[in-house]
Amino acid sequence: MSLPTIPSTSAPPPLPTAQAEQAPVLERHGHLPAVPAHRLRAEALRETFARWHGLGAPDWLPERAGDLATPERLATRQASVLVPLVAREQGLQLLLTRRDARLSVHAGQISFPGGGRDPGDRDAVHTALREAEEEIGLDPALVEVLGCMPIYTTVTGFAVTPVVALVDPRARWRLQQSEVAEVFEVPLEFLMNPAHHELRGWDLPQDGKGAAGTALQRRVFYAMPWHDERGGHQYFIWGATAAMIRNLYRLIA
């Protein structure tokens, strides 16, 4: 999700990934049930989203409607991300991107493909598909949209609509080199097991300068560290991306 920062005197600065990785774990959620494997199949997810959207005014609410440090009056801009589920022989995989380390904002952070809504976009789905095609070369013709989850408001002031979709395994990636360093896949079964969900906290000075006597503001966020055993890589999934994954877990569970 490549979003510019909206300047705001009331918004706390984005937490660097290096600091987020050092933040202590406040809670682990292994006591919550994992989503059974049969409910993580494509047909089961189609039924879940069809049933949820068919309720008209669903009573399900996201566990996290936004970053905990997001000021209530922070001006927002509409944005969308694609939550792409790729069908593989071993099961559905969630596709994620790693942002380029040279970017000035959210450098190296794990994210979904997505971005701000353009004036010509028809709706939130159009924004998500357009951004995914621009960032990773995903052909919209190979995407089956399942539905939109509730809006998630970020600390940088974006009202983000997560668009959940199935992606044909024939899709090939063409990365936007200025923003995306790599794409990778995580088993959906891993992410839909809350034993792998961590709630972490980090205390930041409210004035952002750390002067003596400055009051501290606790930033609390989800993290889902992932170790790719085949490639030997470590990925620290956290922040808004992890919170939206957690909301997906709550919806399916």
Among 20-24, 100-104, 203-207, the range of highest mean pLDDT: 20-24
* Closest of 80, 109, 112 to residue 96, by C-alpha: 112
**Is the residue at 170 inside a domain?**
yes
Domain carrying residue 66: 23-252
Sheet strands (E) in the chain:
25-28, 77-88, 91-99, 110-111, 114-116, 143-148, 152-153, 158-167, 180-187, 198-205, 216-228, 233-238
Asked if 235 and 225 touch (Cβ cutoff 8 Å), the reply is yes
146 to 59, 112, 223: CA distances (angstroms): 19, 16, 25
**Is the residue at 10 inside a domain?**
no
pLDDT at residue 13, as a whole number: 60
Model confidence band, residue 156 (pLDDT cutoffs 50, 70, 90): confident
Domains in the chain: how many in total? 1
User: φ and ψ at 79, to 5 degrees?
Assistant: -150, 165
C-alpha to C-alpha distance for 181 and 175, rounded to whole angstroms: 8
Asked if 137 and 173 touch (Cβ cutoff 8 Å), the reply is yes
**Is the residue at 2 inside a domain?**
no
Quick count: other Cβ atoms within 10 Å of Cβ 71?
Answer: 16
C-alpha to C-alpha distance for 53 and 149, rounded to whole angstroms: 10
State pLDDT tens for residues 52-64.
877 654 567 788 8
Using CA of residue 55, residue 117, residue 93, residue 23, what is the dihedral sign?
negative
Model confidence band, residue 99 (pLDDT cutoffs 50, 70, 90): confident
- Identify which has the larger pLDDT, 90 or 108: 90
Least confident segment among 16-20, 92-96, 189-193: 16-20
State pLDDT tens for residues 20-55.
898 999 999 999 999 999 999 999 999 999 988 776
**Is the residue at 16 inside a domain?**
no
pLDDT at residue 163, as a whole number: 98
Asked if 82 and 132 touch (Cβ cutoff 8 Å), the reply is yes
Measured in whole angstroms, how far is the alpha carbon of residue 68 from the centre of its chain?
A: 15
Model confidence band, residue 18 (pLDDT cutoffs 50, 70, 90): confident
**Is the residue at 6 inside a domain?**
no
Question: What CATH number should be reported for the domain holding residue 165?
Answer: 3.90.79.10
**Is the residue at 13 inside a domain?**
no
